[in-house]
Structure 1
Amino acid sequence: MSEATHLIQGRAAAIRIENLDTDQIMPKQFLRGIDKSGLAQGLLYDLRFDPAGVPRPDFVLNQPRYQGANILLCGSNFGCGSSREHAVWGLQQYGIQAVIAPSFGEIFYSNAMNNQLMLVMLPAQQVHALMEEAEREGSPVLIDVDQRRVKSKGLDVDFTVSDRHRQMFLERLDVIGLTLRQRAAIAAFAERHWRQHPWYQNVASQTRQRLRA
């Protein structure tokens, strides 16, 4: 990734599969840990490896020219299926910083954007153009999150991302961090609320004290 926090630039790899679901992105056997670690090995496991665990030479991420790819170009409805957040963590641990596709599974989209994995939706024709360029020339792709633009050797187009998700990416915030930016307003609301409704405050503890009396 570029040193500029609003830029993602690098080699793109095309996975021409529609409806690639989270069970395929991160198979169930890699969900047994209690933390986020060690998920890179499981990423797209059944596509990357045969039943004997031998890398499939025809799969794009196993090909030498795509080693170090940090941007995926994918088919529509990428990330559909179950809500496992491990799919996002696995992509990131493998080194993927962005996915460009015509559409995404709704829950996967939220999980990704809340974890700093940038998802870019472009019309299918533009995604296919990027795929063909990546396969033909291997030229880098640049995603400018601040300007909401995708650029490559043959393409320069706008994309849409919500102001909230753009802000979270640029400031490296998750949903908790974004909420804590409103800490002063939250504290002021709470102070005003308890001042206007003091009988609501500490009801449980006061009830326990009365019952012990």
Structure 2
Amino acid sequence: MATKQGYLPICDPDFTPIAASTSNSFISRRAIDPSGRLGSLYDAYSDRVLSNSNINLSTQLAGSHRRPECFIKTCNVDECANLLKWWNIQDEQRLDVALQTITANGIGALINYSRPIDKYTRFIGYNYYSWTEYFEDDVFGRPNKSRSSRSDAHATHMIVLVNWGIDAIVVLQLPHDDEPINEIDNVLQKLSYHSTSED
């Protein structure tokens, strides 16, 4: 296990695998494109997984000991002018979603949310990691172990670590009536608590 800073974020914060740490050009991306797999080739200039290009290497798995997270957020108009930025989507990925060079799937579809955002808007986020799949450093030094189904001149990176789980956002627009708002918020807070409780 490695303890240095700068490694990729994984499902269990207490465990840091040596995942291709010999590279000095890590990038981290939310999985807007569901086709990506460990070993898939990636074009960072267009933020897309290259289809039918996969390198087969020995993989490692790390199970998660982390509890699910569920939280409820509100935001004002200024904060939410750019929902993808507000939700911590990487700058390059936001640009490619905005330019439609990649399809706005998953959380990326927030860019298409067109309803008014005001004090009655609630964002519910749910995050659960079940396991991390990754390549260790030494697999790249083993001769004749790498098999690629297809090479691609556009590839700039390879996916060396994948966190598997759920990363979801729900947008609710509550009734424009101040009287029931507190009651609704209490129900949402209870829902948030029970969705992460082990009881």
Q: Using structure 2 for the length normalisation, give the TM-score.
A: 0.22
The higher-RCO structure (CA 8 Å, 6+ apart) is: 2
> Which structure features the higher share of strand residues?
2
> Which structure features the higher share of helix residues?
1
Q: Using structure 1 for the length normalisation, give the TM-score.
A: 0.21
User: Rg bigger for which structure?
Assistant: 1
